[in-house]
A and B are shown apart, each in its own frame.
Chain A
Amino acid sequence: MRKIIIRRKEVLNHLPKEIRAGAKVTIGSIYVGRQPLKGVEGEEAKILLKDIIDVPYGHVEWPKKEKEFWASMRVKVPFEGVELDISKDEEGNPFNPIDYLTYQWCLKHRLVASTKEEMEKDGRKKFYIYDPEKDLLKKNAAVKISKEADKEFIKLTGNVDKMRMLLRVLSAGSKPESLTDMEVENMLYDIKNQNAAKFLKYAIDKDLEIRSEISEMIEYGVIRLIGNQHIYIDETIGENITDTIVYFKNKKNSGAVNAMRAQLKELK
């Protein structure tokens, strides 16, 4: 059985918690164009609504009754949320048509977000769908990233220079050249544990060397950083880090890049 839970946004105000918890908050019908929002349409509506609407599909009253059904749709969402069974049988028919219709309707509803994060970002959203399966997949994806990050970390420990480059990119102003190998390793280990995705992204970055070089040049004042722009003397060499990497890789700019490198060497 596949279940999802519709939950509501907690409103914090001056009222005692038990009163807030007892609020009757309902997802009601909304307009989409000139019609009430419909959860399902066409063939799916014909199949799923046939046992709910008391006239057969094709009857002259069907459109009116269908409109009334969607206009009267209400999902009461108590403090603990409302559970919906959205599982289907082998032929693709939902076990609980009302729950399935409600779920489809909520998916399209303007006030319902597909995740809690989405609801928190968008002030208009008042509800969200908690899908334990999706949550499981998300958690599993995080585990996979963490595992990959661990693998990359082990690979890195054999290459001290790469470790220093990575640390410079991941931790601006860390001055890896002034740290011992053990300190660099420990710092990278902490960064990996705090944000495995970020660690992995830069650990497998093909342009890590250039990225680190640019960071070092910024650190020593060879390149100036204004907003996202990278400026060398008076010339904007990139609107952002990606542009600047392209600039460094372009053979046409080898003269300027060599000049920058020479300047950096002098300053170090």
Chain B
Amino acid sequence: MALMQVLKTYYNDQQMTDTNSLVNALMEKPEELSPIITHLAGREEKKFPLSFLTEGVGNTKSIDRFEYEYRVKTHEVNVRPVVSSTGTGAGGAIFTVVFPDKWFIFPYTLVSQSGVLARIMAEPQPVSGGYEYKLKLVSPDQSSMPSADIAAGALFGMLYANVGVDFSRGNASNWAAPGLVRSKIGTIRKSYHFAGNAKDYVAQFELPMKEGRTTKLWMDYEEYRHMLKFKEECEMYYWYGEKTYDNNGVNQMLDENGQPVISGPGLFEQIINKDTYSTLTQSKIEDVIGDLFYGMTDATDKQVTLFTGIGGAREFDRALRNYYSGSGNNYLQTTEAKFITGSGRSLGITGYFTSYDHIDGHSVNVVKVPLFDHGPVAQASNKHPESGLPLESYRMVFVDQSTYDGQNNLQMINKKGREMLRWCVAGSVVPNGFTSTDTRASDIDGASVHMLKTAGVLLRRFDTSLDLQCVAS
């Protein structure tokens, strides 16, 4: 990947032929070329980080349909509330507790909300309102089960199965099926037209090949700029897109031809955890991250990316600096020149907080999203009361990019063959890179180029990411 680069250079018809045109390569292998272009252009322009961190680094998948399904694991609830009870177990007597279902397994030991242990002594029996369990206090020193622990609504949890010395029988394990989510991907298009004047500049892509060699592919520079704009528009769809179908999957929008306009949910619609802030404090960051990480116990390669604008990045840095310089945190202060460069009369300030390592081993990295600063939503948004920047610039989106069961949590889903479609309608001129013939599709003195992509961004775990917005009245 390190060898890849994009250069602006003059068009040379000797070297830049149809065979090494990127347009032709894209038509033949869109699924291979699209991620590479996203990576290259994303690295150069930094305007579409979401595309870059999914498709651009290979977290992409091509499917045959407009719909896809995937399994999501939900949090297991291993406690059950008491429905009713009889007796308190005083003097080693058996007492009964009714739970709403048969989740607890005979002969496991249960624990009450105040920590008293009781063993299930027999198979639970169905009764009105749930299942009746016969329990006995484990410790002979425990006089009885506190009445608050067996009042309706009190919670019990399951610990372990302690059995007799000999002739014990096997028990069972609980298993909860993961939920099934069905989602859809949408199609985005962009076209541009140009007059019949000559084009001189081209963008040259240097791509790596096997054994360390590189190859050069080229495309018209104007087209390249339009392609970048198209990628920005796709990026807006990945963030702000709203699904056009209802909760039953029925599409609610038809175009002028009566065709369904299918659009999948953008990242904001997929993130279900929401919060707001005004002035960011270290304690707020700690609480927010603590809440998020609590649900990530089964993640490997625990990575959280904090997508934000200039305002959010400043707030993040300011919150940690304030904490660092706080009067109660002297132990954090250092005499090393972490924040000052230069010497004598030529000093400068440096050192900004852009990451946060959590004690549980998760790390948060700040990634700036220019869309939050200069995109249409930012331009339309209210202004921050202190800085005057758009409030959207202060939006902080914590996206869990960890790996679950070998799969990256954040992925791009493409429709096979429509990862990045480009074609031209030639008039008096043929755009550079497209095959030229004497017959043309249009009588216009010029030509047009069209781009199309059918894709969507998929967040597998919805409950480990957070949309934190700065709100002003």
Contact = CB atoms under 8 A, between A and B. Distances in A.
Interface of A: 11-16, 18-20, 22-37, 61, 67-68, 71-72, 74, 76, 110-111, 126
B281 interface: yes
Contacts of B12: none
B275 interface: yes
Interface residues of B, number: 41
Interface string B278-310: 111101100100011000000000000000000
Interface in B52-72: 72
A27 B471 CA distance: 11
Given A14-B249, A37-B473, A72-B287, A19 B74 contact: yes
A60 B272 CA distance: 41
Contacts of A24: 272-273, 275, 291-292, 463, 466
Interface string B456-473: 000000110010101111
A209 B337 CA distance: 89
9 contacts: A23-B273, A26-B275, A28-B277, A31-B473, A32-B473, A71-B279, A72-B281, A76-B291, A110-B471
A74 B269 contact: no
B276 interface: yes
A265 to B, nearest CB: 54
A23 B272 contact: yes
B288 to A, nearest CB: 8
B101 to A, nearest CB: 15
Interface string B351-374: 000000000000000000000000
Contact of A27 (B272, B273, B276): B276
Contact of A15 (B181, B277, B292): B181
B49 interface: no
Interface string B182-204: 11000000000000000000000
Contacts of A31: 278, 384-385, 470-473
10 tightest CB-CB pairs across the interface, nearest first? A28-B276, A23-B272, A31-B472, A30-B471, A16-B179, A36-B278, A26-B275, A71-B279, A29-B278, A24-B273
A13 B265 contact: yes
B386 A30 contact: no
A15 B276 contact: no
A37 B473 CA distance: 9
A111 B281 contact: no
Contacts of A25: 272-275
B273 A34 contact: no
A67 B386 CA distance: 15
A34 B473 CA distance: 10
Contact of B243 (A14, A16, A32, A74): A14
Given A14-B183, A23-B274, A30-B472, 17 more contacts: A12-B247, A13-B265, A14-B243, A16-B72, A16-B74, A18-B74, A19-B272, A22-B74, A25-B275, A28-B276, A30-B277, A31-B473, A32-B472, A33-B385, A74-B284, A74-B287, A110-B473
A30 to B, nearest CB: 4
Nearest to B245: A14
Interface string B14-52: 000000000000000000000000000000000000000
Contact of A111 (B247, B276, B280, B385): B276
A31 B279 CA distance: 8
Given A14-B182, A67-B279, A74-B284, A111 B291 contact: no
B75 to A, nearest CB: 6
A76 B72 CA distance: 24
B462 A15 contact: yes
A33 B249 CA distance: 42
A178 to B, nearest CB: 44
B2 interface: no
B247 A14 contact: yes
A24 B294 CA distance: 11
B3 interface: no
Contacts of B287: 72, 74
Interface in B408-459: none
B332 interface: no
Contacts of B265: 13-14
A266 to B, nearest CB: 53
A16 B385 contact: no
A155 B249 CA distance: 54
